[in-house]
Amino acid sequence: MIAPKTADTGRHARHLRLLLDHCPLFAWIKDGQGRFLAANSAFARLVGQDDPAALIGRTDGDLFPADLAARYQADDQAVLAAGQSKYAVEPYPDAQGRRHWMESWKTPLLEEGRVVGIIGYGRDIGDRQQLDQTLSVREQHYRTLVEQSADMIARYDREGRRLYVNSAFAALVGVEMERLHGTTPSQIPGGDHIPLLRRHMETVFSTGEPLEFELDWTNLGNRPLTSLVRFTPEFDGEGRVASVLGQYRDITELQASRRKLHRLAFHDELTGLPNRALLQDRLRQAITDAMWHKRSVCVMMVDLDQFKAVNDAMGHAAGDELLRAVAHRLSESVRAYDTVARLGGDEFIIVMPEVRDGADLGRIANKILRAVDQPYQIQGHEIYATCCIGIALYPNDGGDGGDLLKYADTALYLAKQEGRGAFRFYSKTLTASAMDRLMIESGLRHALARDEMELHFQPQIDFASGAVVGSEALLRWHSPLLGQVPPDRFIPVAEDTGMIIELGAWVLRQACQAASAWNGPGRPRHKVAINLSSRQFQRPGLLETVTATLEATGCRPGWIELEITESLLLDRDGRVADLLAAFRAMGITIAVDDFGTGYSALNYLADFAIDTLKIDKSFIQALGTDRRRAELVKAILSIAGCFDQMVVAEGVETAEQVRFLRENNCHFAQGWFYSKALPHAAMTALLTERAPLRPAPSEA
């Protein structure tokens, strides 16, 4: 009876040893004098030993540098003395002497209630420790920048409560920082400016756009102040405004300086605008401030077209009245702290501090052109006027005011060569960039009404049969003015301006009509993939729009697939997940486009209703040349198989790519190897033939 029990005990001991040796954690046991009684293979490898038995009887001093050994022994003594477990994060060396970090747990080893040694476990956390340190350093740097800023900075929630203020904010308001946290402006400091402040804050929350304005207010010490305030929206993971960051620049002295200059009559007598002397002072101040804060300054020179003809035809009084009206419109077209000056005659200068990129300036210039190009009622007559604008930038074009005025004049000359109502940058690159965006934005506003948009369809091929089983609807724009405009040029503009909503609805309707036509009686199922923008998900009513479109076109839900980007899977409040679930409940399948290039995470695939993954073409095109990307493609295919998801390989262009994808059980292919995107008529003809799609001749 004893032998079997002894055998079982031995087997149990071997099992325990195997369990420890295959455990990825470091594990060890020491006696009360710090001598090792046992260790697992992971710990032995840590100290450069192949056999854990070689450690028995040795101490930390035998295995580690003196400083580390002393640190470990001090921890051990604390556990032995207190008889309680201890958690620590501490360094350890690898076989090459490089130091890493591990977290360890040390527990008293008890025999008959007495502490006779220590049981220890540890695991490597080198990457996490480094990340924590990096984040901590960055956070400290950013906090230092904010706290040392001379500007008042505060963060507000939707109720106007302060979530954070910096020391400059507390100092200028005149109260301790702790009293400001959780309070609203109406509570501290209060005053007549509160309604204006609250109204601007609500505007930023509702529009999601930054806002700048000047604010006159009084602090708790009854000191009148003027601040240049910039409210910037801060978005959560779903693209909604979660808070507003307020930056208050004290411009009290600047305002006082302005009023003093006004009193000195540094203004144009006819229009009331600043004259050349005040302009030069403002421009000098703007450049000095920009130099200090590493910002840009814009100078616009505005000149009326054919102003002399108005003077000659109607007299100088009419010309003066026109100049006053133009001066008013120019002032209304820019920000309150921009400077609009008149140099003389029909020539005006606009100085704009704290400007951003050329595309923004292009929109501002276009706004000014439109404002001037409106009818004027002058002495009982309706008069039309246009202008040209030359634009120069500090520091890009020049370092002082004289140079900027000279270069703006040169740009104005170039604009006038183009004819009436034109603007030009001194920099040709900025002119081209701004004009290109403005032309795209202008053309997009009329593209649908002018029937310039068209859907093309790129076939999707079943690897198993070679048959065309679906297609992706791709938007194409042929502008009479711009020619064939690539999607990567006009889609971002449509996203920025919100026109993507109208375009998306049009694409949905056209694609559903095509799917309905291609899935008639007796035809094999053909699924049309339709891309949805994140803007469409943010706008209420998407589910109703899709439902109504299906009903209006006679398209069944199973005939379309909705493609979304990975960024939408960052939804935190469940709104996107609910929409996707509703679409699937209708019978519509969901695909993740360009998978692998965004926010890929396994929990997204498990949490969201996803039917199809579309591997981005950058991965496919790297097959055969980039082993790591090839392994990633294999991994994506394997993951999709675990979740019973279909996979479409995008951008398939070579026979080698086809072989790789087939061998690794990819379901569908899409790319120029089989076909480019086809117009509706050509796609219809292809589906009518019902023949497997052969590779393009160049790839066969």
Predicted local distance difference test score (pLDDT) of residue 507: 97
Q: Which residue has the higher pLDDT, 225 or 17?
A: 225
Task: Give the bridge partners for 471, in sequence order.
Answer: 459, 528
Q: Using 50, 70 and 90 to split pLDDT, how confident is the model at 106? A: very high
Same domain membership, residue 397 and residue 461: no
Residue 122 lies in a domain: yes
Is a pLDDT exceeding 70 seen at residue 137?
Answer: no
Confidence of residue 144 (pLDDT cuts 50, 70, 90): low
Could you report the per-residue pLDDT of 352-361, keeping only the tens digit for each?
998 876 667 8
Q: Given a cut of 90, is residue 338 above it in pLDDT? A: yes
Cα–Cα distances in Å, from 586 out to 426, 529, 543?
56, 16, 10
Q: Is 671 domain-assigned? A: yes
Q: Cα–Cα–Cα angle for 648, 650, 656, nearest 5°?
A: 100
Residues 578 and 551 in one domain: yes
Q: Which helix (H) or strand (E) holds 454?
A: strand 453-462
Structure confidence by residue, pLDDT tens digits, 588-602: 999 998 886 655 556
Distances in Å between the alpha carbon of 353 and those of 266, 282, 687? 20, 10, 59
Say which residue the tokens 């994060």 belong to.
Answer: 89
pTM above 0.95, yes or no: no
The gap between the terminal CA atoms of the chain, to the nearest Å, is 77
pLDDT digits (tens, 9 = 90+) for 270-299: 998 999 989 999 999 999 999 988 889 999
pLDDT for position 691: 63
Considering the domain boundaries, does residue 619 fall inside one?
yes
For the chain, give the mean pLDDT: 86
Is 135 a domain residue?
A: no
Long-range CB contacts (< 8 A, 24+ apart) of 230-236?
Answer: 231/200, 231/201, 231/204, 232/204, 233/204, 233/205, 233/208, 233/209, 234/155, 235/208, 236/572
Task: Write the CATH number for 505.
Answer: 3.20.20.450
CATH code, 55: 3.30.450.20
Do 500 and 608 share a domain, yes or no? yes
CA 413 to chain CA centroid, nearest Å: 39
Label residue 220 by pLDDT band (50, 70, 90). confident
- Does residue 483 sit in the same domain as residue 548? yes
420 touches 388 (CB < 8 A): yes
Q: Could you give the maximum distance between any two Cα atoms of the chain, in Å?
A: 129
Q: For residue 190, what are the domain limits?
A: 149-253
Q: Which of 293, 394, 287, 373 is nearest to 330 (CA)?
A: 373
User: Residues 294, 225: one domain?
Assistant: no
Q: Which of 395, 413, 417 is nearest to 404 (CA)?
A: 395
601 or 450, which is more confident? 450
Q: What is the pLDDT of residue 148?
A: 66
Residues 602 and 531 in one domain: yes
Q: What is the CATH number of the domain that holds 275?
A: 3.30.70.270
pLDDT band at 698; cut points 50, 70, 90: very low
For residue 561, the model assigns a pLDDT of 97
Q: Which of 417, 442, 467 is the last residue of a domain?
A: 442
Give the residue carrying structure tokens 């000191």: 223
Phi (first) and psi of residue 33, to 5 degrees: -95, 10
Residues 179 and 249 in one domain: yes
The verdict on 244 and 274 lying in the same domain is: no
Query: How far is residue 151's CA from residue 142's CA, in Å, rounded to a whole number?
Result: 14
In a domain, 540, yes or no: yes
Q: What is the mean pLDDT of residues 488-511?
A: 91
- How many domains are there within the chain? 4
Give domain status of residue 696, yes or no: no
pLDDT in the model for residue 127: 58
